Structure 1
């Protein structure tokens, strides 16, 4: 892997970690807070593409596994991978991969800006919301035994925020494509 790709992956890993510093928002009726780190996952996929975006997410997860407090709320260590919400951390990998892949095939430099933005949004929505929730909810339902429907209904409160994150990721992807044409092609 070229040095440029490693640097970009490390940069986006840092962005994901910094987004973990944004204080989580507690809803009160559910014990899981809203965090900004999934925005970083979407951004990694949209801007870097499938391969580099996935590497960025894997780097964050490796840092968390070795004990560094890189996840929202200053969490880190192997214990974070033993929680009912671990499926969402696993889902980050596939979310970045799918978002990046869809961005690569749906967005081209020759498209109009609006078309690029809409396609980036669709990619971020499919990968960063549908894939992430599919894996996270399935894992939560299986591990806790609460059932898929109950896990799905409990996650509905997070969807509006994640759709907003997909919009932000699409705007950022469009801005990077327009503002940094020398950035290597997403791969």
Structure 2
């Protein structure tokens, strides 16, 4: 069993804070109760750079702090966050970071690295969040599936693609500095 390191724990807290700060960069959509935020970019970075264990821990910390009432993310903190329009997305954060980390830890650096990282981040940092997020949105607002997808899925895809590409570029740059053990070592 791998040991937890102080370095990994500190980076987990740092990435939780980064995700919180990124959530304040938002675009409110007039037709949706869910704003476009950069918090998904924080999830992608945490999983890609920290790996599965520490990425999961950082996003679990985000969820715990939010539920505890500490306003880490933009909006209303506390248990109300879980019952609000973004609750389904928020609860998937730790698992998304875990899945990104699991796949990224198995990627061997080569000339296709950027493309592989982009795909993994898009699949698990974005698309993975939507089933629980859209389902919860449909449930609390009594939306049809089509309306829930229109309010909580389709408008977000172009930005998610761009965030995935940017995260891949940052991850490649970080891996150049930490080529073998990366941050989670």
The number of aligned residues is 181
Q: 1 CA distance for matches of 2:184 and 2:132?
A: 25
Aligned partner of 1:49 among 28, 48, 51:
51
Structure 2: runs of 5+ lacking an equivalent: none
- TM superposition score normalised by structure 1: 0.88
What's the C-alpha RMSD, in Å, of the aligned pairs?
A: 1.8
- Tell me what 1:92 maps to: 93
Deviations 1:135-167 (A, max 9, x none): 211222234332323212322111111111111
Report the Cα offset of residue 40 of structure 1: 0.3
- TM superposition score normalised by structure 2: 0.89
Q: CA, structure 1 residues 142+86, in 2 after alignment: closer, same or farther (shift >3 Å)?
A: same
Q: List structure 1 runs of 4+ shifted beyond 4 angstroms.
A: none
Report the Cα offset of residue 182 of structure 1: 6.1
Alignment check: 8 A CA contact 2:49 2:183 kept = no
Deviations 1:65-88 (A, max 9, x none): 111111124x31111111132100
- Tell me what 2:134 maps to: 137
Alignment check: 8 A CA contact 2:34 2:85 kept = no
SS across alignment from 1:49? helix
- Tell me what 1:17 maps to: 20
Q: Does 1:68 align with 2:66?
A: no
Q: 2 CA distance for matches of 1:131 and 1:165?
A: 15
Q: Does 1:4 align with 2:7?
A: yes
Q: How does 1:32-47 map to 2 (within 5 A)?
A: 32-47=34-49
- Tell me what 1:174 maps to: 172
Report the Cα offset of residue 177 of structure 1: 0.6
- Tell me what 2:115 maps to: 118
- Tell me what 2:158 maps to: 160
Report the Cα offset of residue 59 of structure 1: 0.6
Q: 2 CA distance for matches of 1:102 and 1:182?
A: 16
Alignment check: 8 A CA contact 2:114 2:172 kept = yes
Structure 1: runs of 5+ lacking an equivalent: none
